[in-house]
Chains A and B, each alone.
Chain A
């Protein structure tokens, strides 16, 4: 068990460019979450997947954002036409819901996005 991994760890881009982040959850975890954390704030929920199905999106997830989890394993989060307001830490978390008990979400190290 290597934990949740995220790549890249840092991304600097120019306004208007597209960026894509990847999250690899803990292998047996069937649920995967994306959060966004801006400076001085707590993480805020963006979306989540149960296996390969995207079940909920928050209002924070504008049309420029899209997330996928094609085979129920890794997930990608793409931001199109980035804006300076997209600068934040993007966190991924995974959890196993199969045991019937509620377990804590395990977080990855995050991808820090800076939009110039």
Chain B
């Protein structure tokens, strides 16, 4: 069975602070994919990143960076110099290559950036 845990329910930071959102996953499949999605107040899920299980190289995209560590089954997301527009709910998700390839989501972390 697949499972994603986002232990941080809510985080508040002051604008320009850095913030890291944690994600821990469980799967017995050797081939899997990890995702981060952003859900702003409008409700639409916005894709941020996908990593496959064979690529542990960390990635940076502007103010966003991701740290994938198979040894700890974690896929953490860091926002540098946070901005008010970053306020949203962030979901970590997992899919495996077998079956429906559906996404298994965590419960999300609500990030509030205070101006």
Where the two chains meet, the residues of A that have a C-beta atom closer than 8 Å to any C-beta of B are 31, 33, 35, 40-45, 48, 55-56, 89, 91, 93, 95, 97, 102-110, 112
Contact = CB atoms under 8 A, between A and B. Distances in A.
B47 A45 contact: no
B58 interface: no
Contact of B44 (A44, A48, A97, A107): A107
A43 B107 contact: no
Contact of A107 (B4, B33, B45): B45
Nearest to B4: A42
Interface of B: 4, 33, 35, 37, 42-45, 47, 50, 52, 91, 93, 97, 99-108
Contacts of A95: 101
Nearest to A34: B102
A45 B103 contact: yes
Contacts of A35: 102-103
Contacts of B33: 102
Contacts of B50: 102-104
21 contacts: A35-B102, A40-B107, A40-B108, A42-B106, A42-B108, A43-B105, A45-B102, A89-B43, A91-B45, A93-B45, A93-B103, A97-B101, A102-B33, A102-B50, A102-B52, A102-B97, A106-B47, A107-B37, A107-B44, A109-B42, A109-B43
A69 B4 CA distance: 30
Contacts of A102: 33, 50, 52, 97, 101
Given A45-B100, A56-B100, A102-B33, A112 B105 contact: no
Contact of A41 (B35, B37, B107): B107
Given A102-B52, A104-B50, A43 B45 contact: yes
B54 to A, nearest CB: 12
